[in-house]
Amino acid sequence: MAGGVMAKSGGGGGRRGRRHGGRARPMAEINITPFVDVMLVLLIIFMVAAPLMVVGVPVELPKTAAAALPSEQEEPLTVTVTADGRILIQTAETAPDELLNKLRAIASERSSDRVYLRADGAVPYEQVVQVMGALNNGGFTNIGLVTDTGGPTFGSGDN
């Protein structure tokens, strides 16, 4: 062994493990994976539930230039006349001969006399007026006709 340098067989001379008196150091990183999971679940729940919150029966409302009515504290009563002539109070179908009795019973329980009448554009005017007469006789004198916006504005040159 001439001028021999012997290598130490312990490996690299560095520390093998960190020991700090047996204590583990706190992790300084935030794990956002559970937060993202919860937010995605909430997003899906709201995306599914939002279309279900719309109350009503699908009808093709006529278009007018009238502005929307202001909102109220109490949920307004909605009466719908579909294209095939069915009459619905909120979402419950009602026979025409039972309409007046049901309206009187509902009017006695409500503090507001406001009612929204939704009628398909294909419904004859005579039937709409008959339902309005039943609403008036049932105790609802504040009747609002529901329409879609974007219709003709007579007198402004737009059609």
Record the pTM: 0.53
Domain extent at residue 118? 63-149
Whole-number Å distance between alpha carbons of 45 and 98? 39
Structural domain includes residue 155: no
What is residue 149's predicted lDDT score, i.e. its pLDDT? 74
CATH number at residue 136: 3.30.420.270
Structural domain includes residue 123: yes
pLDDT at 17 over 70: no
Structural domain includes residue 14: no
Structural domain includes residue 115: yes
48 SS3 class: helix
CA angle 147, 149, 155 (to 5 degrees): 105
Structural domain includes residue 21: no
If we measure between CA atoms, which residue out of 88, 91, 110, 109 comes closest to residue 99?
Answer: 88
Tens digit of each residue's pLDDT (9 = 90 or more) over 82-130 = 988 889 988 888 888 888 888 888 888 888 788 888 888 888 888 889 8
What is residue 113's predicted lDDT score, i.e. its pLDDT? 80
What is residue 36's predicted lDDT score, i.e. its pLDDT? 92
Q: Percent of the chain scored above 70 by pLDDT?
A: 74
For residue 87, how many other CB atoms are within 10 A of its CB? 21
| Per-residue confidence band for 153, with pLDDT thresholds at 50, 70 and 90 | confident
The token pair that represents 105 in the structure block: 């019973």
Structural domain includes residue 2: no
The token pair that represents 154 in the structure block: 């007579």
The token pair that represents 19 in the structure block: 């020991």
Could you tell me the CA-to-CA distances from 70 to 12, 64, 112, 147 in Å, in that order? 80, 17, 14, 14
Dihedral (CA of 90, 91, 92, 97) sign: positive
Structural domain includes residue 20: no
Give the contacts of 148 (CB within 8 A, at least 6 positions apart).
Answer: 61, 62, 63, 64
In the chain, the number of structural domains is 1
Structural domain includes residue 105: yes
The token pair that represents 11 in the structure block: 């490996």
